[in-house]
Chains A and B, each alone.
Chain A
Amino acid sequence: MDILIVDDSRLARRELLEMLRGHPEHQVVGEAASCAEAVSLIDKLEPELLLLDIHLPDGSGFDVLEQASYTPKVIFTTAYEQHALRAFEVNALDYLLKPVTAQRLAQALERAGAADSAHAKSAQQTASRSTSDHLFIRDGERCHFVRFEDIRLIEVDGNYVRLHFGTTKAMLYRSLNQLESRLDPRMFFRANRQQVVNLGWIDGIDPAVGDGLIIRMRGGGEVEVSRRQARELRQQLEL
């Protein structure tokens, strides 16, 4: 995997570089010492994995994930504060305590790699490499890594969007247009000006007045498809 190391301490980065020499199957493609630097390097290099320190001089590791337009896999590194990681559900992510033991590093890398290959099979690796398979969302105190295939519905809410997944509806502080560029067009369909649906979550489609369509969603709810988009949807489903 291509790895980006984010840590404000040069010595800490040096330490990780040294340890990663024992894993020649992975390459370190860059190093960042601050949030701003990390965000720009993620967008530029599109690494597969971040080794991300939680404390950075201009913010936190979470800020990096929130601001970057691309979400790589993440292994957090921290000297002590596990409580910063409590925001996550169990098993949602991996973290390493500094100083890092060789054993834990190997374990974490293996786990990240395994998740990668499992997903590669399920997604049939048709998308370009730049499309990551998940999103980072901070919803108040809670943080989520959400896989795109688990997002049922995306709705405009003011200037931002609201994502429906699992039992949660969480805000993502991006415009729908910004987000749409990251969505796989074979997975998501724009039903109208306000809503984007995940085609995998459609339960059934009914005709509606005036050539429109109504989508019934798995797990409840209906979405109206505008006339123009209905034509598009029919074409897409025929294909």
Chain B
Amino acid sequence: MGERTYPGFPDGNGDKQVNNNTDKLYWRFQFVYWAGYTLLNLVYARAWGTGGQLYAGIFLLLSLMLFGVTHALRGLYRRHGRQRSSAAVGLHLVWLLPLIGTLVQLVFTLMIWAATSKQSLSAMAANRFGSTTFLAYSINTAIILLMWCLVCLVWVEWRRRQDAEREHWQNQVKLKELELQFLRSQINSHFLFNTLNNIRALVLEDASAARQAMTDLATLLRGVLQEGRSPVGPLQQELELVKGYLALEALQLEGRLRFELDIHSSLAQAQVPPMLLQTLVENAIRHGIARRSAGGTVHISAQPAAAGKWRMQVTNPPAEAGTKHAGHGIGLANARERLRIAFGAQATLELIEATSVIATVEMPLWTS
């Protein structure tokens, strides 16, 4: 049950995969953002007529510093910000970013000044300490950082929502699966206990028939337990199991249950999902024969069809009018799911309810 994984839904291993992808995306973003910033600065400088290798070096240095600062910010976020909402993180940025902007400009300007004190650039460095210019540079840096943070926060928020949604659907699927299993086990339990009760009485009147019934029950239980093991098995094997199942139902229904088999000889080895035919026959009995005082006949047929396919059909008379129909389609939903797992979209299951009830499965002809 729990071992089943869902394609498209990452499990424990998948989370690592997601983290890896996140890292890659982050580094790409980091590179593009700061390269873009450097380029933009260079273009502006050229427009102002102050281009040259020196400026390129200065801008590269600034970008590298900011690259490091933002990476540190990311570390800070991962350590303290993750558990908080994006709004709370944004509130901290209000004081953090101006502070960092000022510090970065301070260090940056000092570095220029230290490296170039005897050269022409010292004038520029001095100029940078002019209070209003320095303020402007700091604000500029803070804004650049803010933009960086906004991009990251928006992305994080988007991811959070996506994760929440994914988790929601994942849970829904698991819930449905459990529901299906629960209902299915209930259906079988009713049959199982009736059968045990019938066999107990049968021991009194016909010991060898009781022995045969025990064997049929064992075959059926083995089939139920192995249902999920392989997606398909040969029709012949399925038929043996269904005959045993019919014999057990006949203990309960006796003369009210009759059945006919019409199996094309070429189809003995045709591959069919295990327990599929049994589910259809069980439905035919539960919702048809068992709800008729006079009982009826279950007709099972398997015939080749066109285009490399074959057709399996289970026909039964409908329930007596007036009896409540307790069908919840669980058996059918389950059968469709098993068909989908085995054959994908190539197989179909249709139910027609008219003067008789006909379940038709069409699937590709695979032989082992």
Contacts from A to B (Cβ < 8 Å): 8-12, 14-15, 18, 34, 36, 55, 57-60, 79-81, 97-100
Task: Establish whether residues A12 and B194, one from each chain, have CB atoms under 8 Å apart when the complex forms.
Answer: yes
Q: Which chain B residue lies CB-closest to A37?
A: B293
The answer to whether A98 touches B256, judged by C-beta atoms less than 8 angstroms apart, is: no
B193 close to A (CB within 8 Å): yes
Additional 20 contacts, C-beta under 8 A, given A9-B194, A79-B194 = A8-B252, A8-B253, A9-B198, A9-B254, A11-B197, A12-B197, A12-B252, A15-B197, A18-B201, A36-B293, A57-B293, A58-B322, A60-B324, A80-B192, A80-B193, A81-B186, A97-B193, A98-B196, A99-B193, A99-B196
Contact of A79 among B197, B201, B324 (CB under 8 A): B197
CB contact under 8 A between A59 and B323, given known A11-B252, A79-B190? yes
Mask: chain B, 247-287; 1 = CB below 8 Å from A; 0 = not: 00001111010000000000000000000000000000000
Q: A10-B254, A14-B204, A80-B186 are in contact. Are A57 and B290 (CB under 8 A)?
A: yes
Which one of B189, B254, B293 contacts A58 once the chains associate, using CB atoms below 8 Å?
B293
Q: Which B residue sits closest to A10, measured CB to CB? A: B254
Proximity bits, B322-339, A CB within 8 Å = 1, else 0 = 111000000000000000
Give Cα A100–Cα B189 distance, bound, in whole angstroms: 15
Name 21 interchain pairs, CB-CB below 8 A, sorted by A: A9-B253, A9-B254, A11-B202, A11-B252, A12-B201, A15-B197, A34-B293, A57-B291, A57-B292, A57-B320, A57-B323, A58-B322, A59-B323, A59-B324, A79-B191, A80-B186, A81-B186, A81-B190, A98-B194, A98-B197, A99-B196
Given known pairs A80-B190, A80-B193, the reply for A9 and B293 (CB within 8 Å) is no
Residues of A within 8 A of B194 (CB): 9, 12, 79, 98
> Which residues of chain B are near A15, meaning CB under 8 Å?
197-198, 200-201
The answer to whether the Cβ of B205 comes within 8 Å of any Cβ in the partner chain is yes
Instruction: Say whether B204 contacts A58, CB under 8 Å.
Output: no
A18 (CB) vs chain B CBs: closest residue: B204
CB distance from A95 to the nearest CB of B (A): 13
- Kindly name the residue among B197, B198, B204 whose own CB sees the greatest number of chain A CB atoms within 10 A: B197
In the complex, chain B residues whose CB is within 8 Å of the CB of A11: 197-198, 201-202, 251-252
Q: How far is the CA of A59 from the CA of B323 in the complex (A)?
A: 5
The interface residues of chain B lying within 8 Å CB-to-CB of A9 are: 194, 197-198, 251-254
Q: A15-B197, A18-B201, A79-B193 are in contact. Are A57 and B256 (CB under 8 A)?
A: yes
Question: Which residues on the B side are within 8 Å of A79 (C-beta)?
Answer: 189-194, 197
Within the complex, the shortest CB–CB distance from A90 to chain B, in Å, comes to 22
Q: How far is the CA of A59 from the CA of B198 in the complex (A)?
A: 21
Q: How far is the CB of A157 from chain B (nearest CB, A)?
A: 24
Minimum CB–CB distance from B142 to chain A (whole Å) comes to 66
CA distance A8 to B290 in the complex (A): 9
